[in-house]
Chains A and B, each alone.
Chain A
Amino acid sequence: MRPTTRWSLLFMGPPIALFAAIVVLPTAMALRLSFTDASLLGQTSEWIGFDNFVEAFTNEHVRKSIRITLVWTLFGALIPPALGLAVAMALQANTRFAAVMKSALFVPISISLVVVGQVWIWIYQPGDGLINQLLGMAGLDSLEEAWLANRSTALYAVFAAWAWQQTVLAMILYLAGLTSIPGELVEAARVDGAGHFQVFRRVMVPLLRPITTVVLSLIAINSLRNFDLVFAMTQGGPVRETETMPMLVWRILFRQHEQGLASAVSLILFAMTLVVIGGLTWWGRRGSYVD
């Protein structure tokens, strides 16, 4: 026994035991459940092999939900980081405002998605909602819309409310990343005759790569486990148009009462998360070796 083994056990034993009980064991139990036809209300269940997974991949509602979740994650990886970076760069150039702004913007990210959802419901209201009122004032009445009720706009409307919050998260992280880029490096590139775009591409982008990996990972996790906001705003409706996978699991569990299928779908979501995070980690590592 190495002398530190005892200390390792002492330090890590109790927390790891708790972690095993609350996270590892239940994950294994979920795996077992996903091979049964257990029901929420009933007491008995039978082993049905891969039926739930077959059902999940053939059922049109599950497939649609997987699509919604993937689209959400893709847009989430593009829009909030891009906007966040743009605003962070603008803020860096206008340092006078940066401090005040940063403080003000902590409000949107510290409030809960339940509250965010409530506000955006009011913004999207069909009659006297903010967006429709502004459109009306601008003489664009024809563009007024029941944003959350229309099947073709609902998903984007909920996404926008979510992106509203995630953009600030991206911005704050990028701001920290930008300040850590040595000014001399940018100056040196300028002296070498690089234009603004080239400085951005050749200097900033590679240097921001590690932080971009962090931003994308955080946003990807938040995209894939998005429940609170959908629950607060639409409960997956209208007609399941905003049914992200976490919302779908909720519905299968508590409205269709099928524990087994719900477990299978949640494990598919887990697998998707691992693939996305694995890909991002690989991308981040690759970058750091090249540079």
Chain B
Amino acid sequence: MSTSTAHPVARGQGAAEGAAEAHEAARRGRALRRRAGMALIVVFVALYLVPVAGVVSTSLKTNAEIAERGIWALTGKLTLANYIDVWSTANTVRYLINSFQVAIPAVAVSIAGGTLIGYALSKFRPRGGTLIQLVIVSGLFVPPQVLLVPLFTMFRTLDLLNTLWPMILIHSAVGFSICTLVMRNFFDQIPDSLRYAALIDGASEGDVFWRVMLPLARPALAALATLQFTFIWNDFLYPLVFTSARDDVATIMLGLLNVKGQFTVAYGTQASLAVIASIPTVVVFFVFQKHFVRGLLSGALKE
């Protein structure tokens, strides 16, 4: 709408004014759009801040205050009593330790395994590689409900129910799907010449992988770590089935449910545990946010 007016041949005042007006109109149009965009952003931010602020403020109010004025009242004294309460009387510390004990090994194993498979598929190009990749990646689409009963039977036979092992093993294996996808795409982008050069210099395939390729993969690994940690930390279904009716092996997400029983109508106490449960993933996201987006994209998009 604004390109034709600024014709280089046009001279004289009329033409110059016309150009200035069109320019002005375009500028106004842009300003309007920007303002509309700003409004959209402001509404959007409010939409996200309010619920988050709701939990945090609830966690800082006394239960009596909440019972009297409701959760969303803006008044009230702020107190840390709920945090002290939930930390000292519930199994909070145990829940947190359990969650870390599941998340750390499972994140490590899923990424290690996915990297090994992805690298082998990309660089060794074994026979049947396409099929292997297909099977492993389709693991992304298997609903957990399909696995529930057979795994339950399996872990019962192995006497692993009511330990943290089921979650560690499941998240490790299920995580291979996304990790393989991401790492294969990543290694595909690294030229083979790099590997051959190192091999000619006398390095073994293992050395090439360990010394040359892995250091290059650091950003992708960080992305996967973020993704996997969040996913595993927030998982609710597997602990619900594999550690039921035992508070001492509950992860923090299951703990949220158990605490609902222990502090039934104490919304403030429940909210404080929800905040505690959310801190680790929020921190991980803040630290690794750039890697996260890149990781998600590199997993699914080949450049």
* Chain A residues closer than 8 Å to B38, beta-carbon distance: 90, 94
Q: How many chain B residues have a CB neighbour from A under 8 Å? A: 94
* Chain A residues closer than 8 Å to B37, beta-carbon distance: 89-91, 93-94
For A104-147 the 0/1 string (1 means CB < 8 A from B) is: 11111111111110111011010111100100000000000000
Contact A122 B54 (CB under 8 A): yes
For A191-206 the 0/1 string (1 means CB < 8 A from B) is: 1010100000000000
Our pick among B51, B142, B144, B169 for the contact of A123 (Cβ within 8 Å) is B51
How many Å from the CB of A17 to the closest CB on chain B? 10
Residues 41-66 (chain A) with a chain B CB within 8 angstroms: none
The count of A-to-B residue pairs whose CB atoms sit within 8 angstroms is 265
Complex CA distance for A102 and B290, rounded to whole angstroms: 10
* Chain B residues closer than 8 Å to A115, beta-carbon distance: 55, 256, 274, 277-278
Contact B141 A274 (CB under 8 A): yes
Contact A22 B173 (CB under 8 A): yes
Q: Does B20 contact A (CB under 8 A)?
A: no
Contact B147 A97 (CB under 8 A): no
Contact A173 B149 (CB under 8 A): no
Contact A231 B169 (CB under 8 A): no
Contact A15 B48 (CB under 8 A): no
* Chain B residues closer than 8 Å to A87, beta-carbon distance: 40-41, 44
Contact A228 B237 (CB under 8 A): yes
For A152-185 the 0/1 string (1 means CB < 8 A from B) is: 0000000000001000100011011100000000
Known: A4-B124, A176-B297. A27 touches B51 (CB 8 A): no
How many Å from the CB of A21 to the closest CB on chain B? 7
Q: Does A18 contact B (CB under 8 A)?
A: yes
Identify the interface centre among B142, B147, B151, B271: most chain A CB within 10 Å of its CB.
Answer: B142
For chain A, what secondary structure do more than half of its interface residues adopt (helix, strand, loop), or is it mixed?
A: helix
Contact A193 B3 (CB under 8 A): yes
How many Å from the CB of A56 to the closest CB on chain B? 13
Contact A19 B45 (CB under 8 A): no
Contact A110 B51 (CB under 8 A): no
Complex CA distance for A24 and B141, rounded to whole angstroms: 12
Q: Does A250 contact B (CB under 8 A)?
A: yes
Complex CA distance for A106 and B52, rounded to whole angstroms: 11
Contact A119 B54 (CB under 8 A): yes
Complex CA distance for A2 and B128, rounded to whole angstroms: 13
* Chain B residues closer than 8 Å to A127, beta-carbon distance: 70
How many Å from the CB of A279 to the closest CB on chain B? 12
* Chain A residues closer than 8 Å to B48, beta-carbon distance: 104-105, 107-108, 164, 168
Contact B120 A12 (CB under 8 A): yes
Contact B234 A12 (CB under 8 A): no
CB-defined A-B contacts under 8 Å, sample of 18: A23-B139, A26-B146, A94-B38, A103-B286, A104-B45, A110-B230, A112-B281, A118-B271, A128-B70, A130-B54, A177-B297, A211-B301, A218-B296, A225-B144, A227-B144, A227-B237, A228-B234, A270-B143
Residues of B within 8 A of A (CB): 1, 3-4, 33-34, 36-38, 40-41, 44-45, 47-52, 54-55, 58, 69-73, 112-114, 116-117, 119-121, 123-127, 132, 135-136, 138-151, 153-154, 169-170, 172-174, 176, 205-206, 209, 230, 233-234, 236-237, 253, 256-257, 267, 270-271, 274, 277-278, 281-282, 284-286, 289, 292-294, 296-297, 300-301
Q: Known contacts A11-B117, A210-B301; can you find 16 more A-B pairs with CB under 8 A? A: A5-B124, A19-B113, A22-B151, A106-B292, A107-B278, A107-B282, A119-B274, A130-B50, A133-B72, A173-B293, A176-B297, A221-B141, A249-B148, A262-B145, A273-B143, A277-B141
